[in-house]
Amino acid sequence: MTDAADQSSTPDHLEAITQALNSGMFVHVRRMLQQMRPGDVAWLLESSPAPSRKVLWQLIDPDDYGEILEELSEEVRDGIIRLMAPEKLAVALEDMESDDLAYVLRDLPEQLFNQVLTEMDEQDRHRAELALSYPEDTAGSLMNTEFISLRPDVTIEVVLRYLRLHNELPEGTDTLYVVDQHNRLLGDISLASLVVQSPTTTVAEAMDTTVEAIPLTMSDTEVANLFERHDWLSAPVVDEQNQLLGRITIDDVVDIIREEGEHSMMGMAKMDDDEDTFAPVLVSARRRSFWLAINLGSALVAASVSNMFEATLSQLATLAILMTIVPSMGGIAGNQTLALVIRGMAVGHISDSNARWLLTKEALVGLFNGMLWALAISVVVGLWKGSWEIGLVIAAAMFINLSVAGLAGASIPIIMKRFNIDPALAGSMALTTITDTVGLLSFLGLATLILLH
Amino acid sequence: MTDAADQSSTPDHLEAITQALNSGMFVHVRRMLQQMRPGDVAWLLESSPAPSRKVLWQLIDPDDYGEILEELSEEVRDGIIRLMAPEKLAVALEDMESDDLAYVLRDLPEQLFNQVLTEMDEQDRHRAELALSYPEDTAGSLMNTEFISLRPDVTIEVVLRYLRLHNELPEGTDTLYVVDQHNRLLGDISLASLVVQSPTTTVAEAMDTTVEAIPLTMSDTEVANLFERHDWLSAPVVDEQNQLLGRITIDDVVDIIREEGEHSMMGMAKMDDDEDTFAPVLVSARRRSFWLAINLGSALVAASVSNMFEATLSQLATLAILMTIVPSMGGIAGNQTLALVIRGMAVGHISDSNARWLLTKEALVGLFNGMLWALAISVVVGLWKGSWEIGLVIAAAMFINLSVAGLAGASIPIIMKRFNIDPALAGSMALTTITDTVGLLSFLGLATLILLH
């Protein structure tokens, strides 16, 4: 994170292409693009303002379209697909692995989706429909169905001879799977283990039978956690009868982990994590208005709380000056707890058995922080405003608000999860509304009771 | 993210072990732990409150200590290392890959570090010192030095015979490297490609010479971006003379991507991303006080801004009620832009060539949002407070603050990066201070000028 700016090779690349593009040296740009890998071209498109993308796309060799589309982020890809004729799109999608194919197709507008499916040849259409039949965000939608399976009774020598019949193995192959005659998974054998085996060993002797297969319906988050915890490069996917249906490879898992991280970060900042960095102004402004509208609502709730104390405020303007401090501290303290719990949930650390422990702990952190910062603010306000009475009032409000913030920060994500609401998105706004309301109510309420009797 | 709660198998595991632990069935727990993989045991420790960890650790087979320590997050590992005698720790560390070894050693307190190094045998100590000689967060510190290299002139058959001399290949081997007599990298050959080659082919014929080697000094963020962009499973690391020194494997890259995501998310919420979810109360409270103190400072800056308008506020209490709305909207809009730019920097999308375009775009989004929400708030306030004059004042302040928020949100991370400050940590606090100050100054200032003339 701290040194993303010193990207050595690639920004130079970007610089050079941008310059060539701006000076209209299209032949030169075309040649440069041909020498780049699909991942780099995708990165270049994502790093370019929307108008340049159109020009760049026309300079790319159509044979590379499929591989590049596969690597693009959702919103950028959607923009580019809109530039393509359905029949060209169908051709571009043909070479994709089945999981990526489903991933792209799922996002197409219905009319284009049908057109593309019609343009595909029978085999690809069948593959696409199968991939689309699994729910999004499950192991089924992540797996690809190209893999090599072996029978247990053959020798390693036979396996090697069989492999040599291929020009190349399916992309990302690091492990071969061993199945019985009903295609039920018996074990696996990694290529690293295959190449150290004596040729006369049988697959049954060489295979690892402790392989953990992933059920079709497992959520993608859990798949990612398993890969991470066990340092897997790939894993087999099976149905309820333990029949081998496909495999999931680490490259897709890396994408999930990246997306999850971005989702939580952007969610905390009330941003749509699909938003393209270089989208046009109006598109960006529209995407952000949802949370700005919600926040306006939340700010009006806070204003209506202080509106209840108009009489108090007009008698003592000092209260108006100080009234933003307690809500602000409550917002920060509550968001700290919220982030901790959201992270813990994402990596699967939090379950029924430890949720109560965590809730108690965070409530205690809130109480402790409440005491600490109540003391601090009473001293500051006492010295600044020369009134220890106001100091006492703000201290009491701080203590109440930080205690509530700890409890709310820990319980909001746990409750939201129960109701299937995503706490990374909605959590911090709900929390801030609570800490603003409680902060203002307790500060202005106590001030009215104590100072204006 | 949305479905982290439905982790099926592992929380059951956690539940069962927690119950067994609470009922004192230690023999049973010990047996369960023996059947778990190191990654799962590490996950169990991380999911357990601090007191249970101590008991669990004593029930784990000491032979597994090294592999488990390798998988633990920093703060949890530090807590456990404090429970271990230096000589036991030295034994536990012996089996680690060199990059993980350096990673653990680097965090030890100096005295323990020296004790552990003394306890190690010569070869391990040498390996550790070499790994420690590379700066943290660079390719050098990520690489491990166990790999298999080949000469170009041998045949595949000879390679296979050579590989069979091994019991197993170094962990995570998916590719073999081809070097000349000076150990300079010539190319590589993946195991997937090796097994489809005819035995009489030479390595020189079969190898891929387009392999992109990673320089020793490349930052870990950039390494992660390259892996992600090219779907690599591993990559060779070379020095300036193109000599092969080691390789980086995807499992370490996955950890970097996970950590980066957590760092940005936790940073936005003003949390230390090392904080252990199940740390003791006082440890947690202390860790959080830094940002609470900074925020208190920021809140006091805002209070001192409104303090300048004490006379205005005492004349018109309605202003006090409305004055939190404009800063709040500015904070959200600015943080949206900030998050977008931080994400763009993290994945390397933002460079000198497009920074200006982005800055202009975000400033325009700010202007546009400013107009939109100025209109909205003036209508709301005009209707609520029955004063179109106040509505006009708040509209003008909203327009000013949202325009500033867009500009500040885009430029703060770019400027901070120049000065090597981490925007994910410090950015949102700097931004909020700006939007609070500008929001209050413009609202109360305009109100003083226009309403109280």
Is domain A8-135 given the CATH code 1.25.60.10 in the classification?
A: yes
Quick check: B269 and A339 CB within 8 A? yes
Cα–Cα distances in Å, from B205 out to A46, B178, B202? Answer: 36, 11, 5
Interface test with A, best of B256, B264, B342, B349 (most A CBs within 10 A): B349
Q: Where are the alpha helices (DSSP H) in B275-351?
A: 281-307, 310-315, 317-322, 325-346
> Quick one: CA dihedral B276, B278, B283, B286, positive or negative?
positive
Is A288 near chain B, with CB under 8 Å? yes
**What architecture (CATH level 2) is domain A281-451?**
Orthogonal Bundle (1.10)
Read off the DSSP letter of residue A3. Answer: T
Which residues of chain B from 112 to 141 reach within 8 Å of chain A, CB to CB?
137
Environment class of A146 (CB within 10 Å of its CB; exposed 0-12, middle 13-18, buried 19+):
middle
Environment class of B40 (CB within 10 Å of its CB; exposed 0-12, middle 13-18, buried 19+):
buried
Is A303 near chain B, with CB under 8 Å? yes
Is B298 near chain A, with CB under 8 Å? yes
Answer whether A333's CB lies under 8 Å from A409's CB: yes
Q: How far, in Å, CA of A275 to CA of A379, rounded? A: 45
What is residue B5's predicted lDDT score, i.e. its pLDDT?
35
Instruction: Provide the CA A285 distance to its chain's centre, in angstroms.
Output: 22
Which two three-digit tokens encode residue A193? Answer: 């283990």
Q: Where are the alpha helices (DSSP H) in A308-387?
A: 310-315, 317-322, 325-346, 352-385
Environment class of B181 (CB within 10 Å of its CB; exposed 0-12, middle 13-18, buried 19+):
exposed
What average pLDDT does range A125-152 have in this prediction? 89
pLDDT, tens only, A13-51: 777 887 888 888 888 889 889 888 888 899 899 988 888
Residue whose pair of structure tokens reads 């490297």 in the numeric block: B177
pLDDT band at A7 (very low <50, low <70, confident <90, very high): very low
**Residue of B195, B215, B264 lying closest to A191 (CB–CB):** B195
**Residue of B7, B284, B349 lying closest to A348 (CB–CB):** B7
Residue A121 confidence (pLDDT) above 90 = no
Is B286 near chain A, with CB under 8 Å? no
Average pLDDT over chain A reads 90
Supply φ then ψ for residue A126, to 5 degrees. Answer: -60, -45
What average pLDDT does range A231-246 have in this prediction? 95
Is A22 near chain B, with CB under 8 Å? no
Is A404 near chain B, with CB under 8 Å? no
For chain B, residues classed under CATH 1.10.357.20 are: 281-451
pLDDT, tens only, A151-162: 999 999 999 999
Is B340 near chain A, with CB under 8 Å? yes
Contacts of A289 in chain B (CB under 8 A): 369, 372
The identity of residue B330, as a single letter, is G
Q: How far, in Å, CA of B128 to CA of B148, rounded? A: 20
Torsion, Cα A339 A343 A345 A350, to 10 degrees, reads: -90
Class of domain B10-139: mainly alpha
ipTM of the complex: 0.86
Cα–Cα distances in Å, from A391 out to A281, A387, A403, A448, B355? Answer: 47, 6, 18, 14, 47
pLDDT, tens only, A122-131: 888 888 888 8
Quick check: A281 and B357 CB within 8 A? no
Cα–Cα distances in Å, from B41 out to A200, B68, B141, B234? Answer: 37, 7, 26, 26
**Residue of B15, B269, B311 lying closest to A268 (CB–CB):** B269
pLDDT, tens only, A47-94: 888 888 889 999 999 888 988 988 888 888 888 888 888 888 888 887
**Residue of B14, B281, B313 lying closest to A353 (CB–CB):** B14
Quick check: B11 and A354 CB within 8 A? no
What average pLDDT does range A287-307 have in this prediction? 94
Cα–Cα distances in Å, from A226 out to A221, A249, B32, B37, B254? Answer: 9, 12, 19, 11, 12
pLDDT, tens only, A427-436: 999 999 999 9
> Quick one: CA dihedral B161, B166, B170, B172, positive or negative?
positive
Quick check: A343 and B265 CB within 8 A? yes
Contacts of B297 in chain A (CB under 8 A): none
Is B348 near chain A, with CB under 8 Å? yes
Contacts of B49 in chain A (CB under 8 A): 354, 357, 361
Quick check: A292 and B332 CB within 8 A? yes
Helices B325-346 and B250-268: crossing angle in degrees, nearest 10, is 170
Is A372 near chain B, with CB under 8 Å? yes
For chain A, residues classed under CATH 1.25.60.10 are: 8-135
Point out the residues of chain B with pLDDT beneath 50.
1-9
**Residue of A298, A306, A343 lying closest to B321 (CB–CB):** A306
CATH superfamily of A149-249: CBS-domain (3.10.580.10)
Which two three-digit tokens encode residue A436? Answer: 């603003």
Which two three-digit tokens encode residue A336? Answer: 């700290």
For chain B, residues classed under CATH 3.10.580.10 are: 149-249
**Across-strand partners of B332?**
none
**Residue of B228, B264, B314 lying closest to A317 (CB–CB):** B314
